[in-house]
């Protein structure tokens, strides 16, 4: 066994102090992603700081109408929270489409935000991977890449960000609160995850030693309806081939405002401002939805096996919008 | 009269042990002083192992030994290699079915410095704990010379080598094809599949002097014992293989794989029991697969749909270290009446681990192409696909000029099509709709040869009123324990609770492999024979001088409900044995197939009807309904029999929709785990309505049972593909069907 130190923190200050800016230390929450990667030999932490005792398990309604989710709220608790189901159904649906009941029971909000790609080249230490080992190359570019991204790709990395939850959060608008040696910071959700570009090893805006304490959802948009549609080969327990989170408010038959985010096709939870612009003020018709879908995928780049994902993502958008506007 | 147990739905007698965790699977065993082995796999697909750097691994905590080519006994006597320790030399198993010593891969571990596939073992670390062994295994560094790999059948034009013994030819298939009015010439492929049995492969090897005991998750304790005896050059009596419970195998555990040999050698070297449990990733590379296959199918018919010619030419992958032949066309000459038929099989070497049998090996692949081609032919003829099959029903086995012992395919068609509502089908492609969804209905035949092997068993009627049955076969989860108990219960009248079954130990009277759907038909006659002998023995004891029935004729005694009676006096066997101060009355018997196979052709048939739903707006394909009727002779235990067919149908859905073990252009495996290798989950599994015809096949054995484990998977992929065509108009000839194949351009 590769030995590692295990430390349990009681509060946020202790957690960040224990972690320090030590790169060989990692926080552990539910462990469903971290332990997996340790077993695969692609993560070799020398120190684990257990954050499960931190008092970050509450979901709080803020005075400004926002909803503040503690980092340790489990995916199950979040999905079934009454405020989430009433005001942010898209998030509940997204959570429940992910993983399995057992996993959701222990998976945490921050852990989900931080989960890493399922790219098999990333997850196998004997394969080249620029994300895991900068400069080693990308196995997926010329390999099998049916599950890979078509949006936000670079010539260094085409790995998909796998989260469903984050796609709904991207559509809803949110802020990630982090705390570390240099204090507390607030990071807008769409700036939190980074595109691979030339540095696919940099995945998020967190600095060394910083801890996510909360994710705060923007106040619900009055009158908005939401829907999350996840497309995959089998009916359950599989990551998305393409997914769409749609949040729409209507003026009669016209779309007043729409939020569209995509999963399964992009290197980060993908908010599509292009699709939103194509919808806003337009009649809620199939033609409009198709235009929005075209706009969302205009910049898509296909590799060997991913061409089908471009029409599939468009279908996800059109159907999600059809469903949400019929509610 | 004894209450009958055979033919009744009977819950698995080992169910409680499994539910409570008391069933001892291979890796559950821990022996005193045991240490752990963890194999080091090659990370390249093809090339040469130039050397290993073991220093770091050797110094890692807990490491006891590292076995590798440099210190592993070889085929040549190795007096000049003292590093090899105890076993100075290994031999090759002849690896034959006939001698019952077939192995998964004939190449011995570390036999040469070639790397033939990714995952091939290049060393094994032995350490005091599993975790230490695994951590150290990851510190072993290998230097390779990398050669260009043949990454798989679909990456190469190599025509391979013909498997001559698979070739069949009758009539003039080429001439008949050329002259026929309606013909079809198509190529079908199936991706490599992996068994992904829940329980990992595991070996725990232990030497006492020159005696080897090995706990293994195996579908054949006798085969593995014989193979190990051959490899170590010791008599089979000195090897014991134990497999009390198996978490399924689907074929991957029929024949021994290299990890068992390495583990046994390691145990000998370190002088302690060694336990090796393969990881899921290693299970994917080193324990067999259903090889990828390509089938060239040419069939022709007259305008009434009468088949005039079938030519079925198939290719399967094999590895560079063994020759595996998939008998893909083996069902083709038999299923339908056709005078002009030829079948051939070729093997193409690729840089993958050696393939092996996987549920309904060969025929399930062949049935995909044949049953798809029949559907295509029906469409070309503008004929209902079921009607086309009816017109080609084979009254006799057309390949053997023998009558069927029982072919109830027509009843299967009638029953399943009625329950499905096939007569409501609108043949027009895409014509049946429900909201966003297009409904497709398809059907295919299922078939599997009925096989039987030889078997011995021992039965003891014991003084404590219990009956013990022992047989050196094993229960891979299908219900063999229960069927053995049912047999003994039926013949003795002793209730199941008082019957104890011992399986999964090569020291017991030799039993068959759990494979080929032959266990039930093979084991039952031997158990029945042994039970009768035990009863006979009891009667002899009962009439001996001084015994309770002294002076009577043994033959005049009746044995019923566990008791002997002469009409006036009735004594249970426990009472009798007690009076005689005997521990038991025992019987041992062997049974084997006889001349019936020269008189009849034994084969099971069935039919699947499938509804798929295709939502073109979101490219979603689901199987919505399966209705199947299968003839398996007599269902000894309808509960577990149905369970087998349902499970096989689900596995057939896997072949049709999801399962593909993928290798990338470098020859590296892509999806070697349960998350990336997609199999159906519960949410994918629709209503499956299985009916088993009750048509005992007494020509086959006295109980009328044929096998049931495999037939359910045959035809399923074709039934799905046929339904998909009906829904979408797209004929998919490459399994599994991917949604990209169905999307509109
Ligand atoms: C088989 C399987 C299937 C799955 N399917 C899906 C799916 O369909 N859809 C989906 O969205 N997800 C899926 N998941 C992923 C699952 O959602 C994540 O594993 C889970 O959300 C991670 O949460 P955790 O608390 O277990 O994180 P951990 O494993 O504990 O941690 C993950 C990472 O987050 C870091 N971390 C944890 N807490 C904090 C914090 N407070 N601040 C900073 N860093 C932190 C850790 O250091 C680590 O790097 C699946 C996972 C598995 C194993």
- Is some CB atom of chain A closer than 8 A to the CB atom of B662? yes
The answer to whether the Cα torsion of B296, B670, B674, A1 is positive or negative is positive
HEC string of B110-159 equals CCCCEECCCCCEEEEEEECCHHHHHHHHCCCEEEEEECCCCCCHHHCCCC
- Is some CB atom of chain A closer than 8 A to the CB atom of B4? no
A118–B739 CB contact, under 8 Å: no
C-alpha–C-alpha distance, residues B706 and B603, integer Å: 8
- B739 C-alpha to center of ligand 1: Å? 28
A1–B135 CB contact, under 8 Å: yes
C-alpha–C-alpha distance, residues A243 and A265, integer Å: 8
Low-confidence ranges of chain B (pLDDT < 70): 1-3, 77-87
Q: Where are the alpha helices (DSSP H) in chain A?
A: 12-19, 34-39, 75-80, 82-87, 89-96, 101-106, 109-114, 139-142, 165-172, 189-192, 273-279, 286-297, 309-325
- Is some CB atom of chain A closer than 8 A to the CB atom of B730? no
Ligand 1 contacts (CB < 6 A) are: A 26-34, 36, 51, 71, 75, 98-99, 103, 106-108, 110-112, 114-115, 162-165, 211-212, 239; B 675
In chain B, residues with a C-beta closer than 8 Å to the C-beta of A3 are 61
- DSSP-derived secondary structure for B245-281: B-S--TTTTSSB-HHHHHHHHHHHHHTS-EEEE--HH
In chain A, residues with a C-beta closer than 8 Å to the C-beta of B131 are 1
In chain A, residues with a C-beta closer than 8 Å to the C-beta of B61 are 1, 3
Fold of A225-325: Enolase-like; domain 1 (3.30.390)
Write the ipTM.
0.97
How many DSSP H helices and E strands does chain A contain? 13, 12
Write A275-278 long-range contacts (CB < 8 A, 24+): A275/A317
B657–A234 CB contact, under 8 Å: yes
B670–A307 CB contact, under 8 Å: no
In chain A, residues with a C-beta closer than 8 Å to the C-beta of B680 are 234
C-alpha–C-alpha distance, residues B637 and B278, integer Å: 33
C-alpha–C-alpha distance, residues B285 and B104, integer Å: 12
B668–A127 CB contact, under 8 Å: yes
C-alpha–C-alpha distance, residues A111 and A37, integer Å: 13
pLDDT at B434: 98
Query: Measuring CA to CA, which residue among B581, B549, B579, B583 is closest to residue B564?
Result: B549
* Three-class secondary structure of residue B460 per DSSP: strand
- A112 C-alpha to center of ligand 1: Å? 4
Which residue in chain A is spatially nearest to B666 when comparing CA positions? A143
Residue B122 neighbours by CB under 8 Å, 6+ apart: B40, B41, B42, B49, B52, B68, B69, B110, B115, B140, B142
- Is some CB atom of chain A closer than 8 A to the CB atom of B680? yes
pLDDT at B745: 73
Cα dist from B84 to B53, B66, B120, whole Å: 18, 12, 21
Number of C-beta neighbours around residue A74 at 10 A: 21
A118–B622 CB contact, under 8 Å: no
Rounded (10°) angle between helices B480-492 and B519-543? 30
Structure-block tokens of residue A38 = 């340790």
**Rg for chain A (alpha carbons), in Å?**
19
Query: Measuring CA to CA, which residue among B635, B650, B610, B651 is closest to residue B691?
Result: B635
Structure-block tokens of residue B115 = 């790397």
B731: left (phi over 0), alpha (psi -120 to 50) or beta: beta
Cα dist from A128 to A117, B446, B666, B677, whole Å: 15, 45, 12, 21
Low-confidence ranges of chain A (pLDDT < 70): 1
- B319 C-alpha to center of ligand 1: Å? 38
Phi, psi of B507 (to 5 degrees): -80, -15
The model's pTM: 0.97
- A26 C-alpha to center of ligand 1: Å? 13
Residue A250 neighbours by CB under 8 Å, 6+ apart: A223, A225, A256, A284, A325
C-alpha–C-alpha distance, residues B344 and A88, integer Å: 61
A120 min Cα distance to partner chain B (Å): 6
C-alpha–C-alpha distance, residues B514 and A68, integer Å: 58
Residue B500 neighbours by CB under 8 Å, 6+ apart: B466, B467, B468, B469
C-alpha–C-alpha distance, residues B280 and B277, integer Å: 9
Q: Contact, B724 vs B730, CB < 8 A?
A: yes
Atom of ligand 1 nearest to the CA of A164: 11
Query: Measuring CA to CA, which residue among A273, A251, A250 is closest to residue A260?
Result: A273
C-alpha–C-alpha distance, residues A150 and A33, integer Å: 24
pLDDT at B81: 54
B618–A238 CB contact, under 8 Å: no
In chain A, residues with a C-beta closer than 8 Å to the C-beta of B668 are 127, 139, 143
**Which of B47, B151, B664 best tests the A interface by mutation, with the highest count of A CBs <10 A?**
B664
- DSSP-derived secondary structure for A156-203: S--PPP--SHHHHHHHH-EEEEEEETTEEEEEEHHHHB---TT-TT--
Ligand 1, pocket-test mutation among A24, A57, A107, A243, most atoms within 8 A of CB? A107
Q: Which residue has the tokens 């029409």?
A: A311
Task: Write the DSSP symbol of residue B291.
Answer: P
C-alpha–C-alpha distance, residues B406 and B383, integer Å: 28
Number of C-beta neighbours around residue B65 at 10 A: 18
- Is some CB atom of chain A closer than 8 A to the CB atom of B666? yes
In chain B, residues with a C-beta closer than 8 Å to the C-beta of A126 are 43
C-alpha–C-alpha distance, residues B572 and B574, integer Å: 5
pLDDT at B1: 38
B743–A308 CB contact, under 8 Å: yes
* Three-class secondary structure of residue B47 per DSSP: strand
Cα dist from B154 to A44, B150, B498, B673, whole Å: 37, 10, 55, 22
B417 min Cα distance to partner chain A (Å): 27
Give how far the C-alpha of residue B676 lies from the chain's centroid of Cα atoms, to the nearest Å.
23
Query: Measuring CA to CA, which residue among B315, B324, B316 is closest to residue B354?
Result: B324
Atom of ligand 1 nearest to the CA of A43: 49
| Length reported for chain A | 327
Give the tens place of pLDDT for each residue, A17-73. 999 988 889 999 999 999 999 999 999 999 999 999 999 999 999 999 999 999 999
- B67 C-alpha to center of ligand 1: Å? 38
In chain A, residues with a C-beta closer than 8 Å to the C-beta of B738 are 233, 308
Tell me which residues of B are annotated as active site.
Answer: 710
Buried (b) or exposed (e) across B311-336, using 16+ Cβ within 10 A? bbbbbbbbbbbbebbbbbbbbbbbbb
Q: Contact, B499 vs B489, CB < 8 A?
A: yes
Q: Contact, B250 vs B239, CB < 8 A?
A: no
Cα dist from A110 to A70, A172, A188, B466, whole Å: 8, 17, 15, 60
C-alpha–C-alpha distance, residues A83 and A80, integer Å: 9
- Is some CB atom of chain A closer than 8 A to the CB atom of B435? no
Domain residue extents for chain A: 225-325
A308–B676 CB contact, under 8 Å: no
C-alpha–C-alpha distance, residues B144 and A326, integer Å: 61
Parallel/antiparallel/unpaired status of strands A211-217 and A67-70? antiparallel
CA atoms within 13 A on the CB side of A204: 25
Q: Which residue has the tokens 């031999």?
A: B91
Q: Contact, B126 vs B37, CB < 8 A?
A: yes
Structure-block tokens of residue B679 = 């199999």
* Three-class secondary structure of residue A318 per DSSP: helix
Domains of chain B (ranges, CATH numbers): 15-22+453-592 (3.30.365.10), 31-148+199-247+253-286 (3.90.1170.50), 370-451+598-743 (3.30.365.10)
- B38 C-alpha to center of ligand 1: Å? 28
Parallel/antiparallel/unpaired status of strands B499-502 and B467-470? parallel
Q: Which residues of A sit within 8 Å Cβ distance of B?
A: 1-3, 41, 118, 120, 126-127, 139, 142-144, 147, 229, 231, 233-238, 241, 307-308, 311-312, 315-316, 318-319
How many DSSP H helices and E strands does chain B contain? 18, 31
- Is some CB atom of chain A closer than 8 A to the CB atom of B683? yes
* Three-class secondary structure of residue A210 per DSSP: coil
Give how far the C-alpha of residue B125 lies from the chain's centroid of Cα atoms, to the nearest Å.
31
H or E element, residue A129? none
């Amino acid at each position: 066994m590769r030995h590692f130190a295990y430390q349990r923190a009681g509060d946020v200050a202790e957690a960040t102090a224990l972690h320090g800016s030590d790169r060989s230390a990692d926080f552990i929450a539910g462990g469903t992603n971290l332990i997996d990667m340790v077993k695969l030999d692609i993560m070799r932490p020398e120190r684990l700081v257990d954050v499960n005792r931190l008092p970050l398990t509450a979901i709080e309604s803020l005075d400004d109408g926002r909803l503040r989710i503690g980092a340790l709220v489990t995916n199950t608790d979040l999905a079934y929270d009454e405020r989430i189901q009433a005001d942010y159904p898209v998030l509940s649906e997204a959570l429940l489409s992910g993983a399995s009941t057992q996993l959701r029971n222990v998976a945490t909000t921050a852990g989900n935000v931080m989960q890493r790609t399922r790219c098999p080249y990333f997850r196998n230490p004997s394969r080249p991977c620029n994300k895991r080992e900068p400069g080693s190359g990308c196995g997926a570019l010329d390999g099998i890449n049916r599950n890979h991204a078509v949006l936000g790709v670079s010539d260094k990395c085409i790995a998909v960000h796998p989260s469903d939850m984050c796609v709904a959060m991207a559509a809803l608008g949110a802020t990630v609160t982090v705390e570390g040696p240099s204090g507390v910071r607030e990071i807008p959700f769409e700036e939190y995850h980074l595109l691979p570009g030339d540095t696919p090893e940099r995945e998020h805006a967190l600095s060394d030693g910083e801890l996510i304490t909360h994710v705060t959802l923007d106040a619900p948009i009055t009158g908005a309806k939401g829907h999350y549609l996840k497309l995959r080969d089998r009916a359950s327990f599989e990551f998305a081939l393409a997914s769409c989170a749609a949040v729409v408010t209507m003026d009669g038959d016209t779309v007043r405002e729409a939020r569209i985010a995509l999963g399964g096709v992009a290197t980060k939870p993908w908010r599509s401002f292009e699709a939103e612009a194509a919808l806003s003020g337009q009649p809620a018709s199939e033609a409009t939805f198709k235009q929005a879908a075209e706009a969302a995928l205009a910049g898509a780049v296909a590799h060997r096996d991913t061409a089908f994902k471009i029409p599939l993502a468009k279908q996800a958008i059109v159907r999600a919008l059809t469903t949400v506007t019929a509610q | 009269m004894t209450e009958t147990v055979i033919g009744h739905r009977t819950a698995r007698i080992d169910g409680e042990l499994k539910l409570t965790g008391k069933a001892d699977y291979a890796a559950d065993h821990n022996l005193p002083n045991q240490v752990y082995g963890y194999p080091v796999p090659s990370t390249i697909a093809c090339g040469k192992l130039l050397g290993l750097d073991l220093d770091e691994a050797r110094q890692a905590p807990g490491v006891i030994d590292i076995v590798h080519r440099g210190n592993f006994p070889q085929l040549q006597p190795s007096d000049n290699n003292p590093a090899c320790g105890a076993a100075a030399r290994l031999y090759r198993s002849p690896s034959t079915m006939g001698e019952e010593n077939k192995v998964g891969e004939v190449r011995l571990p570390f036999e040469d410095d070639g790397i033939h596939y990714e995952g091939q073992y290049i060393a094994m670390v032995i350490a005091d704990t599993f975790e230490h062994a695994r951590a150290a295994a990851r510190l072993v560094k290998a230097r390779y010379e990398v050669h260009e790999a043949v990454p798989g059948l679909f990456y190469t034009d190599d025509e391979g080598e013909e498997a001559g013994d698979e070739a069949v030819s009758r009539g003039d298939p080429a001439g008949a094809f050329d002259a026929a009015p309606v013909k079809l010439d198509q190529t079908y492929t199936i991706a490599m599949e992996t068994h992904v049995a829940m329980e990992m492969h595991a070996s725990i090897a232990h030497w006492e002097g020159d005696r080897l005991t090995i706990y293994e998750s195996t579908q054949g304790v006798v085969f593995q014992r014989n193979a190990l005896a051959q490899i170590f050059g010791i008599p089979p009596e000195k090897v014991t293989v134990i497999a009390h419970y198996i978490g399924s195998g689907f074929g991957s555990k029929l024949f021994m794989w290299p990890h068992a040999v390495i583990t046994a050698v390691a145990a000998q070297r370190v002088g302690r029991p060694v336990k090796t449990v393969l990881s899921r990733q290693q299970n994917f590379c080193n324990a067999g697969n259903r090889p990828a296959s390509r089938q060239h199918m040419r069939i022709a018919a007259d305008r009434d749909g009468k088949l005039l010619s079938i030519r079925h030419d198939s290719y399967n992958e094999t590895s560079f270290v063994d020759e595996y032949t998939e008998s893909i066309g083996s069902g083709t000459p038999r299923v339908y009446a056709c005078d002009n038929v030829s079948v051939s099989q070729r093997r193409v070497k690729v840089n993958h681990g050696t393939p092996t049998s996987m549920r309904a090996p060969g025929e399930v692949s062949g049935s995909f192409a044949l049953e798809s081609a029949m559907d295509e032919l029906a469409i070309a003829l503008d004929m209902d696909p079921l009607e086309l099959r009816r017109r080609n029903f084979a009254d006799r086995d057309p390949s053997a000029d023998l009558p069927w012992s029982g072919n109830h395919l027509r009843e299967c068609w009638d029953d399943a099509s009625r329950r499905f509502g096939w007569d409501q089908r609108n043949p027009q492609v895409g014509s049946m709709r429900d909201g966003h969804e297009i409904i497709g209905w398809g059907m295919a035949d299922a078939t599997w040869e009925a096989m039987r092997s030889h078997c011995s068993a021992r039965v003891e009627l014991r003084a404590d009123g219990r009956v013990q049955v022992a047989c050196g076969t094993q229960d891979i989860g299908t219900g063999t324990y229960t069927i053995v108990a049912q047999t003994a219960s039926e013949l003795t009248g002793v209730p199941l609770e008082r019957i104890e079954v011992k399986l999964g130990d090569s020291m017991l009277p030799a039993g068959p492999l759990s494979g080929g759907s032959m266990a039930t038909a093979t084991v039952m006659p031997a158990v029945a024979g042994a039970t009768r002998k035990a009863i006979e023995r009891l009667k002899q004891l009962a009439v001996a001088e001084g015994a309770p029935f002294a002076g009577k004729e043994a033959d005049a005694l009746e044995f019923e409900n566990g008791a002997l009676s002469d009409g006036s006096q009735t004594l249970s066997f426990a009472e009798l044995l007690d009076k005689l101060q005997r521990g038991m009355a025992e019987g041992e018997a062997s049974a084997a197939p006889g001349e019936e196979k020269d008189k009849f052709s034994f084969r099971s048939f069935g039919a699947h009807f499938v509804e798929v739903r295709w939502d073109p707006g979101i490219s979603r394909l689901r199987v919505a309904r399966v209705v199947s009727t299968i003839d398996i002779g007599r269902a000894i235990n309808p509960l577990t029999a149905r369970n087998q067919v349902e499970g096989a149908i689900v596995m057939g859905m896997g072949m049709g929709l999801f399962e593909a073990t993928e290798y990338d252009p470098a020859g590296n495996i892509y999806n070697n785990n349960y998350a990336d290798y997609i199999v159906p989950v519960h949410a994918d599994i629709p209503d499956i309505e299985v009916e088993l015809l009750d048509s005992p096949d007494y020509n086959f054995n006295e109980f009328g049972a044929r096998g049931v484990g495999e037939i359910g998977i045959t035809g399923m992929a074709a039934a799905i593909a046929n339904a998909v065509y009906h829904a979408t108009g797209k004929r998919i000839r490459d399994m599994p069907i991917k949604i990209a194949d169905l999307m509109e351009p």
